[in-house]
Structure formats: structure tokens, C-alpha cells
Structure 1
Amino acid sequence: MHNYLPSKHSILTMLLLRSNIRADLNWALRLGLVGLLSTSYLLANAQQNATINGVIKDETGKPIPSATVTIRNATSGMKKTTTSRPDGTFSLDQIPAGQGYQISVSSIGFKSRELLDYTITDRDKLAINISLESSAQNLQEVVVTALGIKREKKALGYTVAELKGDELTQGKETNVANALSGKVAGVQVSRAASGAGGSSKVVIRGNNSLIGNSQPLYVVDGVPIDNQNISSPNQSGGTDYGDGIGNINPEDIETMSVLKGPNAAALYGQRGSNGVILITTKSGKAGKTRFSYGTDFSLGNGLVLPDFQNAYGQGLNGTFTHFRKDDGTIVSMSEALKNGYSGMPKMSAGRDRTTRASWGAKMEGQTYEDAYGNILQLTPKPDTYSSFFQTEKQFVNNLSIDGGTDKVNYRFSFANTDVKGYIPTNTLKRNNFGLRTQAKITDKFHIDIKANYIAQKGQNRPTLADAADNPAYLFISQPRSLGNDIMAQYKWTAQEISRQLGFSGL
């Protein structure tokens, strides 16, 4: 024989089914009433759990975002964690009734606080205002040293400069190394005129070698990375394809520490003789899953352009280099002046700097024939640089998802970079994917797994240095009377090259 006591919900159902309801009420209506009563009961039962709402502020009354709030009950083993919103508010629901609850609140830069021995009853709605005391002074004294070890700054025998991640993302640089410029004393940052995706040169406390590499060693989460620039340009030319540090997503960086001097880099041996830059990447935080999205758009133009004279055109010794006679033959200008030939002055082509330089006649609108056979007036073309180089456009999208518990956390990030360079058809497209998971197995056994995937495609990267296909070099040598509109009209076919003065042996 069983002892059975029906619940309130069962009693209500049985009463409904067995009551003397009018016979014309069909079973569909009865079942609908049963469902309505069941839903009402579930809602009433859910409301029996307690809810805690609160706000976290600092000593001055300002809200503290992203603070970790944890409620636990040692007797029942119940534990819940959340984080405060941007306005400092937080909420915890579905808290069962019980005694001996403990609420702890913590945030970076503040002293943790615990609220002990809370008794919670059914349907309680608690409102808590919590104030945290700042501990920023102690926080600033802790820095990341070699191998990722954290030590107090005053205990170190060398200089360490630390930058937070938000300081590195203010300028939205494609190469994060450029963000160090002007932020750390003794650190010099220079970039080549290599357009989108180019490398950067970082020197700490001056060059240590006249011919060698004086750049520091980069260490990401305790692992040294290869920062070499493959096929780097030299004084004779070449193309800059970027370096290792330029592939890191700036939004993934938590802190960047610059270790100066040989003592700071002793653990890294000879590779750290030029200094070490330690990069600590972001990880997930305990609490609800958080989504973050950001987009940035920036424009860039040349800051300093060369100064040109616009008085004298192409030629040599104050006059034209060649002359086309009335019968169509071409002679030198000196021969035409000597013999008094009738015809028209003509420009020469080719790579000879003496014939294409701007040491010719004063530009006063004279009629002449250019190297391509066009009949033009000799006037200055002052906008050769500005009409070729275009405004650089950079568009960056960032997405991150993170969350977890006190035992396991995760963070996924994605960055899309799209740059249209200052040279026509020069583009850079890059996608960064990052995943990091941390797990605390025991107090002495932790797991940290990181995976990164980078896909980058650059097109028409400019040639550097004193090379024939370096556009900056070509425009410096371009005659001041030769405009880009004339040069853009032609595709250099073999027939045209054979007719041009300077290529045909004349």
C-alpha cells in the first residue's frame, strides 16, 4: 500500500475534470482550462525563487563596468556568477531560498569586497548598492617581465614601460608597432613608404649596430615570434611585404611591455640584446557571454610633398634638346641653331637624365612637339604628384565573443582589414581569426590553448628606394613640362617604343 498525497497542481486538475460542469462543455475546452491552470502554477512556482539586483560604484560614485559578482552557498553548493553592465548595474535570478549566502564583488583596480551571511527566502527581491575602494596604486606597481612573470615594479633592476590595449588602438594602425610611436621614452618607430601592410622599424635606446639588425625581440604570451621581413628592400630597390608584428590584431592585445637594457632581456640571450617587447593577449572573463563589435574608417594623405620649380621645362642648357625640321628629320637643337633650320623644337624620351631633366627653356607657352609626337604648348605641370597619388582609405571591422566561469573561459575574435593604398590599385585585405581557451584543472595545473589564423592578400605593393619602378622616384625625375594626362594616354607597344626618341638610337 502506498502513501500518496497529490500535489496542488494534481488536485486542481482532478477537480476540474470531475466537477459538475455543464454537459455542453466539450473536452477541448476542459483541456484548455487545464493548460491555463498549469501555466499559472508554473509561473507562480518560478516566482518563488529570489532575485538580486544591484549597482556597483567607486568611491566617487561613478559606476564600475565589467565587475565580477558571485553568489555562493557553501551548504547547498549553489553558485552563480555575472558581470556588471556599463552603467554598473547587475542582476542575479533564480536564487533558491537558504541561509549563509555569500556575495563577493571584484574588479581590476579595486579591492575585492565580500558580503557574508545572507538569508534569502522565497520570492525575495533584494536591492544592493556596493561601493569598491580603489587600489590603482598597487596595480600600477605590478608589471609583466620576461617569460610572462609578474613582479612588482619597484623590485626590478631595469626599466619597464607598459601600455594598455586601449592605448594601442587609438590610432587604428594596420601595423601595431606603429602605435608605439611617441608613447614610450627611448623608443623610435619609423615606417617605410611601402603603403598598406608595410613593415615598421622599432629601435630601443638607439642602434646597437651599424650594419646589423637593431630591432627588439617580440614575445607574445611567452613565445618569441619571427619578425623578419622577407625580401626586405635595400638601397637598390625591392618590395616591402610586411613583418611578423604587423600581422597581430591590435584588438587582441591586453598589454604591451617594453623591456629596456641587457638586464631586462637576460632570459632571452643574444636575441634580446636589442631589448624585448612583451605582448599579453586578451582572454575570456567569467560571467555571461559578451559580444563586442567595432568598426573604424580612416583616411590618409601625404604629409610632406617635394618642392619643385615650375619655371623651366624639359631640356638642357636653357633650351630644347632636339629639333624636327620641316622635312620631318630630327636633329639636335645645337645643330638646328647653328644652321638656322626651320621647324619645331622637340623633346626627347628615354632614361637619360640629362635629356629628360628640367634644365630646358623657360615655360612661356611656346609650341613644341613632345616625345610622343603630340603638338603642345610649353607650360608647367605642377600637380604631377597630387594627380597620381590618391587618398588612402582604411576600413577595419572587429568582432569578439568571450565568457566562461571561474574554472573555464574562452574568447573568440575576428578582424577584417580592408585598405586601399595611396598608389592606384594598391590594396590590402586581411582577416584575423583568434581563439583562446583557459582551464583551471587544479590549483597548480592550468591549461592555456591559443590558435590564430591569418589570411592576407596584398596587390601592387610599391617598389622602394632608387628603383626605376618606384613611383616617387619617377616623379622626382619627371620633367616639369610633362603632365600625367599625356603619360596616361599610352600603352608602350613595341612599335611606339621604336618610334620614340631615345629608344631608337637617336
Structure 2
Amino acid sequence: MMKKYIYLTLFFSGLFFNAYAQEVVTGVVKDATGQTIPGATVVIKGTSKYVSSDLDGKFSIAALKDFPFTLQINITGYQQQEIDIYELSDEPAEIILKTANVLDEVVVIGYGTQKKGDITGSVSSVPQLALKQPISSFDRALQGAAAGVQVTQVSGQPGAAVSIRIRGGNSITGGNEPLYVIDGFPVYNSNGDASAGVTAGPSINALASLNPSDIESIEVLKDASATAIYGSRGANGVVLITTKKGKAGQNTLTYDAYYGTQQVLKKIDVMTNAKDWAILKNEARANSGKAPYYTQDQINGLGEGTDWQDAAFRSASIQNHQISMTGGDDKTRYAISGNYFKQKGVLLNTDFERYSGRVNLERDFSEKFKVGVNLTASKISAQVANAGVVNALLAMPPAVNIRDASGKYTYQSEFETPLGNPIATLEKEINYTETYRFLGNAYGEYAFFDGLVAKVSFGTDIINNKQNRFIPSDIYQGANSNPTGKAYVGSKFASTWLNENTLSYSKTINDKHSLNVVVGYTQQAFETESAIAGSQAFITDQLSYNDLASGSVYTQPESGSSAWALNSYLGRINYSIDQKYIFTVSGRADGSSRFGKDKKWGYFPSAAFAWNISKEDFLSSYKTISNLKVRLSAGVTGNQEIGQYLSLATLGSNTYFFGGQTYVGFAPNRIANPDLGWETTAQYDAGIDLSLYKNRINFVFDAYLKKTTNLLLNVPIPYTSGQTTALQNYGSVENKGIELGINTENLTGPFSWNTNFVFSVNRNKVLTLGDGADYIISGANIAQVGQPLGTFYGYQTNGLFQTGDDIANLPTINPATTKPGDRRYIDINGDGKITQADDRTFIGNAQPKFQGGITNTLSYLNFDLSIFFQGTYGNKVFNQNKQQLELLTGQQNASVTAYERWTPTNPTNDVQRAFEDPAPVNTSRYVEDGSFLRLKNITLGYNLPKNIAAKIHSNQIKVYVSAANVFTWTKYTGFDPEVSRNEQSTLNQGIDYSIYPSSKSFLAGLSISF
């Protein structure tokens, strides 16, 4: 018994000794200058054991019993280092990491990856820092972050879509948004794609379903060499999204969160004093030959008046929470995350909310075979502002109270222009959309032998959208319907499936010739179904949209379905000699169901050449130059974004009345066009990549020319056809420009400072519109041969008529009614009259002369600071809000410029006289300079010392404060110069009218990893 006790004592003593006397490997990680590197990951190769270097660059990791083994040391910005451990030493190992060579950085391209040094096309990488802003969708992170990419925030509504143009707009009526490829799955983000069609307000961005914090990298493919492999969808550029993946030996649990508040960027200056507005109203009536509306006693009793904007705008919260787990071993890598994001709008009762989850998993079954899945699921919901509510906030007179004497909401403005109470609209109207999305793909890769790899993937994108709208009978919009009150319920289900099959081969011969070949076949199909139902005249508003049967009058239901399919063959060959001379040839053949039976297939080739001059012997003595490469490319891409069935003859339903009965019949509404084909964009690019002083200064310069032909336009056709227009291939548009990107490492060491600068210029011009057409007019915009898209069209003004002017003999729109104080217009053709046909002209353009962004990142010890400025110059905005507010009718509110209006005692030459019935005229008066410089984001962070983090067993704890849209320097008088009433439209861009205003935010955040 005693012997057994002794054995047990010795056994547990051995365990105790092994636990506390375990042998370890110690070391310190430094850079080439001798500075220690904190946060470097040290992994025992082939195992899941890892540690991170501390603030002094030191590490300690338990040794394996079996020698030798290998340590892998890596950190972003440095080349990975491996050291073999043959025995333990009392001296710490000193590990020197070399700065990562810019040319060795791996960049994601279409259907593969490439080292930067081997790229022949124009590819921009979006800095990770851009994704750390408080944004609802990742596409907003492209703003000012990549040269040649113009991002317009078309609405401040939380979750609203943005408009993106890569190297300008190619199409007049077709789609101009880029193609997004998310972990290999192509997605086109067009407004309304996931909408049931019920919501009257800003479109909710379908891309907002993807959590920006899940993204590892964003690459923007711009020239034909980079985009031709996407064929019929590459003309507008391609944005490649790669989500975060797990890494062997790095098991990490991270919690990220931030919380903040938002405020409207600015208010528009309108009259808020009821007395002053009443005087204006009386004056407008007097100038129209009418009696005053108010007596002087009534004016004196009006009080200060209502500031409708103050009542509608609020301080709104924004918050984000994410938990993520990443890691793996030499066989399996995983990344799992869950996210909650909520942004309340700065307008009452508007908000956006997202729940999302992601799973990325890879498994090596053998050295030859591996599989993986990328899955994301999300639910987004939003309460959307009524499309006209901002206009009502600006136009509602200050003499109207928000509530009446009984405390109920005032129903409407009592004056001639009918305006509903916008506060009641915001508070009581339900405009709710809810979208569920599942996006995922699964793939398998098999290496037949060294260099030859086959990959097969299957994916699906499923969107289920539900929209509910209820307009109660006690607000203006509901009471003015006939019958009163409205409710609608709509749903839309859209699904896409994708199968891609590629075969790639890589081979290096004699360390001199390098070959990479990719060939593939892909197929994709899409189908959608939608339905809308509605009722009116409800007995009670309590049930809102939840019981359509309780409405006594049913609105006509709508339903529909559509589908498209795309089959493709693709290929690319990359060939380099000594890494000096690099050739790329690629192409794709697409067969699309969207086009005519004689034009189903399109072919999109490209070729490119790059010369790494810095590898030539004659530059070897120039130590200043780290890298010098010139690039040339040419190719053709296409655009298929025109909707479905437009090449076919179709029938439309119509309602007829015969003998007191209602009948439904069908009639032709489109003629067939079997020759309807692609819009085709030919692009030529020349670029230079230059790195100096051991890659501390990096330049990327590109010059390009794009010509888009066979535009998809609705062309007038003879009335004998039974139709007025038909979609045909006519016309062409040109874009040309330059792009510059500069990245500098200004200071290194304990205090470091990096700068990233992007700059771009694009010039757009309509070359032809086909079949003798010279222009297309749409509202305040015109597409005119020889002019850029986005051109404003109207009258040039040269002041006001004054007392004493011989008005009868001067050019006017209406000589019989024109009086002193009315606006003058320039007689363009000199015929003594002002007419639409002859005297309207070009009065500005929405496209900027140049745009850019600059980010400075500084760090010192545990502190880091980033400052991001973004701006444009030379773009114009048609301020339609100002046009309405300067009518000075006295029937609605007016701009504060009304205080400077023309009167006989104030003969100004700027603001016209008050008058009850002027017609709004598109003039140069309302075209304003939209140039701006914006402090887009500023973030200050602090990493807590390691010894503090260790108390809760954390690897890292970071706290930070951030501000977005902090200051905007601009001459524009509206809410924000970044506007476009018509959202993603290229023809009708740059119009500011009743748009949900943008906001600025201030927040604090926390990141903890274990």
C-alpha cells in the first residue's frame, strides 16, 4: 500500500514539474533598422501553437519535444520569416523582418491572384482604413479611396444606395454601376433590383446586406485588360470583394463595437419668422393685383413662427457590434462572424438595422484536394422617409403651426399651394422595408499535378423582400386620396444561381519563363417574382397594413415575374520573361438571353504588355529606383444592363369600357428587334508604376481612352409601326482621363507617418446619338452631341428688369406680363424674343473637373491617428430646392434671399420680385458650384499596454474615437453638394430636390481580441 502511494506521489510530482518547468523558445522581433516590432505572430509551423510579440517585440513560446521544428514569423507590411529550431538556447533568438516588397504583394484579380509586379492592367486596392469608417455598406468606402472612382451619396437616408462611376459614365439609358464580385460571386447593384415597388422614397442599397467589417480586401479593376475576363459586364469596371479568411495557427476571438450620434450636416436657410413671411405674402398678392391676405393686426399677432427643419431633424444614434472567430491548423481554416448594426436617421422615424452572419471555411483533404465554403446571411430593415417630405419641410410656411389648439397635428397648409404637415407624415406614415438575403458559394480544387489545378464552384444569391406602406386617413397624403387612407403590401423574391468551372496551369521554366493559363466555362441564371396588393377607405387606422380586407375599396393588384440567363467561356494567358517582359491576353464569350436572337453572343478580347524596367541591368546602378514598370493595354468589354425581354415583341394589358362594363384586353406595346445587341466599350490604357527609396515612395499613373458604341437608346420609329419608339443600338460616348496614386512612408520608427493620395481627371463627351438625332432633353438635363453627360440645359440670366427699362422692346418670355423686378434672359440667337427652341443653352455640368482624396496615418507608441480628406472640383449642381424657394409666391415658404427681393425701393439685380403665379424656369441662377473639400473621417486610437490586456487574458485592447463628415468647405447653398435626385441615372445627374440630407457623426469604439 505504501509503495503504491509513493508511485502516485512521484507521478503527480512529475506532472507538476512538467507544467511549471516546460521548456520554451524566447526571442525578439525587429525590423532592418533595429526597431522592435510588436504584434508579430509567431507560429510553430504545422501546429496551432502561436503567440504574439509584446510591445518590446519579445515573445516566448512552448517548445516541441521533437527537434527540429520551424517557427514562422509574420506581420502585415513585412516579409514572412522562417527559422529552424534545432535545440534550446539561453540566448533569445533575434529575428529580423524585411519590409514587404511592393512587387511581391498579392492582389486579387478576375479568376485568380497575381503579384503586383506581374500585373499588366490597371488595378487599385482600397486601403483597409477606408472600411473602418461608420458606414452601412462597403461601397461608401470607395469614396476618395481609389483613383478614377467617383462615388456620389445620393441620399442621406440610412442604408440608401450610392452611385458609383469608374472612369466616367458609358451609357445614357443602360446601367452604369460597376459589377461587384463577392468571393467569386458576381452581383450587379441596380436600384430597385430587390424592391417590391411599394416604398416611395430612397432605394435601400442591396449591398448593405454585406457587413463591411467582414471584408479583407477590395480591388477595383478599371482597364480592359483587367475587366475583359468579365466580358459583357465589365464595361463599367469591376469591384472585387474578398472576405476575411482564417489562418493556420492563429485562433483569435475578437469583439468590435462602436456607438455614436449623428446630426444633419446643415440646414437650408429659409424664412422662419411668420411676420416677415406674411409681409411677403401680402406683397405677392399686391403685385398680382389682389387684396392683402393679412391685416396689420393679424401680422402683429402671428408670433415668431415655426422652424419646420428644427422640428424634423434630431440627434440620432448609430451603433455596431461584431463578434468574430478566426483560426485553424495546417488542414482547416475558418472565419466566423456575427454582426448587429443600427443607424437611426437624422429625420424623425427613419432608421436602418442589419443582422448578419458569415462563415468562411476551408479544408485540405489532401495535398491535392481542398474544399471551401463562403456563406453569409443577413436581415436588413428600414423605415424610409416619404419622397416629398423634405420638400414639404422647406416649403411649409412658418405661419403654420405643427399642432392646432387641441394638440392634434395640423392637417395642411391653409394657403393656395397644398402642403401636408411633414411632421405628421414622418411620425404617422409607415414606409417599411425588410429584406432577407443569403449569399454563398461552395468550391472544390484538385491539383492533378504540380501547376495544374481544376476548380468547380456552385453558388446562390437569394433575396426575399417585403415592403409595407400605410398612409392613415388623418394626414394629408391619406385624406386627399379617393377614397381616404391607403395601405399596400408588396413582396419580391429573387434568386440567382451560378456555376463556374475553371482550369488553371502555372509553370516556370529554367527560372526564366513563367506561364499562367486560366480557361473556364460559367453559367448563371436569375429569376424573380413580385406581387403588390392594396386597399383604401379603412374603418380604422389601428390595423395599418395588417388587414387589407378591412379596406372597403381594393386597389388593382399587380404581379409579375422575369428571368435571364448567361452562359460564358473565358480564358487568360499570362506570360513573363525574366519577370521583365510580361504579356497578358484574355477574352470572354458571353451568350445572354437579354438580347436579340441574332445577337445573343458577344466576344470581348483584351491584350496587355508590361515592362519591368527596374530589372534591366542598365538601371541596376540607380539605387534610388526600387521599381519602374510601364504598362500598355487595349480591349473590349460590354454592357448588358437593360432589363429583360426588350428585344421581343410584347403585349400589355389595358382596361376598356363597353356598355357600362369593364373589360381587360391586350395590345402590342413593343415591337421585336432581333438585332438588339451589346453596348460595347473599347478601352486603351497606358500606365507607369514607380517606387523610390526602397519602396518608401510609390507612384501609380494611368492615362486612358474609352469609347462606347452601339448605345442602347429608345429611338423614334414611324407611327405606322404602331409604336412611337423602339430600343435600338445607336450612338457613342467617349471618356478619357488620367489617374494618379501616391503612397509614401514619410517617417518610420517609434513615430511613423504614412500618406495615401489619389487624384483623377475624367472628360466625358457624347459623340453621336445615331439616325440624325442631335440631343435628348430630360428635365433640366440634356444629352447633346459634343457635350458631356450630365449637362444642364436652360436659359442664361443677366439680372432683372429695372424701372425705366424699355421692356416692350427687350427680349422676354412673355412681353405682355413682364414688369420691373422680373428676371431677364439672354437672347442667344438675337431675334429679339426669348423662346425655348432658340434661346435655351448649356448652363453647367454635373461632372467634376477633377476629384481626389488624401489620407494621413500617424502612430506613436500605442497611439494612432488617421485623417482623411476627400473632395471634388468643378462640378455643378442644379439647385431645384432653391428654384422652388425663390418663386416668392407667398403660397409656400421662401429662401432667406427673399429679404433681398426686388422692390421699387430696393431695385436689386439679383432676387426677383414677389408675385403669386410665376412659372419655375430652368435658368443659370439655380446652377451652383458643387465643388467641395470634406474632412471625411478622423480617428484617434489607443492600444492599451499588454500587461493591462493580459489581466483579462486579452491579446489586444484598443479604444478609439472617430468623427465622420466633420467639416465641409463649399460654396454650395443646399444641404450638401453630394446629391443626385435621380440616384444612379447618368442622364439626369446632379439635380438637388427634396433629397434626404447627409449627416455628420461622432462615435467611440472598442476592439478586444483573445
What TM-score does the superposition give when structure 2 sets the normalisation length? 0.37
1:386 aligns with 2:348: no
Contact 2:122 / 2:225 at 8 angstroms: preserved in 1? no
Counterparts in 2 of 1:319-338, with a 5 A limit?
Answer: none
Segment drifting more, 381-390 vs 449-458: 381-390
In the alignment, is residue 479 of structure 1 matched against residue 397 of structure 2? yes
Shift of the alpha carbon at 1:146? 1.3
The answer to whether residue 185 in structure 2 is matched with residue 267 in structure 1 is: no
Q: What CA distance in whole angstroms lies between the structure 2 residues aligned with 1:40 and 1:419?
A: 58
Please say which of residues 304-313 and 98-107 is displaced more in the overlay.
98-107
1:166, distance to aligned residue in structure 2 (A): 3.1
Give the structure 2 partner of residue 167 of structure 1. Answer: 130
Partner Cα distance (1:396, 1:243) in 2: 18
CA distance in 2, matches of 1:86, 1:225: 42
Whether 1:245 aligns to 2:207 is yes
1:406 counterpart = 2:330: yes
Render the CA deviation track for 1:264-283: whole Å, top value 9, x for unaligned. Answer: 21111121211101111110
Question: 1:46-85 CA distances to partner (integer Å, 9 max, x unpaired)?
Answer: 456422233323224131424242257xxxxxx5631424
Alignment of 1:23-422 (within 5 A): 38-47=11-20, 49-60=22-33, 61-70=35-44, 81-85=49-53, 87=55, 88-93=57-62, 95-96=64-65, 98-116=66-84, 118-120=86-88, 127-140=92-105, 142-147=106-111, 149-169=112-132, 171-193=133-155, 195-230=157-192, 238-309=200-271, 310=273, 311-313=276-278, 316-318=281-283, 366-367=297-298, 377-381=301-305, 383-422=307-346
Quickly say closer, same or farther: Cα 1:103–1:262, change in 2 above 3 A: closer
Deviations 1:226-276 (A, max 9, x none): 42332799xxx9323422322211111111011113332111112121110
Distance 1:312 1:445, change over 3 A: same
Per the alignment, do residues 474 and 80 of structure 1 end up closer, same or farther by CA in structure 2, a change over 3 Å counting?
Answer: closer
Q: Which residue identity does 1:489 align to in structure 2?
A: K
Q: Tell me the amino acid that sits aligned with residue 477 of structure 1.
A: A
TM-aligned CA deviation for residue 219 of structure 1: 0.4
Aligned partners of 2:194, 2:249: CA distance in 1, in Å? Answer: 46
Instruction: Measure how far apart 1:437 and its partner are.
Output: 0.8
Asked whether the equivalents of residues 313 and 479 of structure 1 are also in contact (C-alpha less than 8 Å), the reply is: no
Counterpart residue identity of residue 3, structure 2: M
Percent identical residues: 25
> Is contact 1:295–1:395 with CA below 8 Å preserved after alignment?
yes
Deviation at 1:178, TM superposition (A): 1.1
Shift of 1:195: 1.3
Question: Deviations for 1:138-190, whole angstroms, at most 9, x for unmatched residues?
Answer: 345x422112x222335434321101333321x21112211111112221111
Q: Which amino acid aligns with 2:347?
A: I
Cα distance in 1, alignment partners of residues 298 and 280 from structure 2: 14
Structure-2 change in CA distance of 1:37 and 1:452 (3 Å): same
Q: CA contact under 8 A between 2:277 and 2:397: conserved in structure 1?
A: no
Q: How far apart are the structure 2 equivalents of 1:496 and 1:225?
A: 40
Answer yes or no: is the 8 Å Cα contact 2:209–2:379 preserved in 1.
Answer: no
**Deviates further, 195-204 or 84-93:** 84-93
Q: How many Å apart are 1:218 and its aligned residue?
A: 0.3
Which is further off, 448-457 or 87-96? 87-96
Separation of aligned partners in 1, 2:67 and 2:474: 96
Q: 2:3 aligns with which of 4, 14, 24?
A: 14
Say if 2:158 and 2:352, in contact at 8 Å, map to a contact too: yes
Question: In the TM superposition, what is the alpha-carbon distance from 1:212 to its structure 2 partner?
Answer: 2.3
What amino acid is aligned across from residue 397 of structure 1 in structure 2? H
Aligned pairs, how many? Answer: 408
1:165, 1:251 within 8 Å by CA — same for their partners in 2?
no
Q: 1:81 is aligned with what amino acid?
A: K
Match of 2:385 in 1: 462
1:14 partner amino acid: K
The alignment partner of 1:287 has SS state of coil
Q: Which has the larger radius of gyration?
A: 1
Tell me the C-alpha RMSD between the 2 structures.
Answer: 3.6
Distance of 2:475 and 2:178 partners within structure 1? 51
CA 1:486/1:267 → structure 2, altered by over 3 Å: closer, same or farther?
farther
Q: CA deviation at 1:117?
A: 5.6
Identify unmatched segments of 5+ residues in structure 2: 412-471, 483-1010
Tell me which amino acid in the other structure corresponds to 1:134.
T
TM-score (norm 1): 0.71
After TM superposition, give the deviation of residue 132 of structure 1 in Å. Answer: 1.1
Q: As a proportion of its length, which structure holds more helix?
A: 1
Counting strand residues as a fraction of each chain, which structure ranks higher? 2
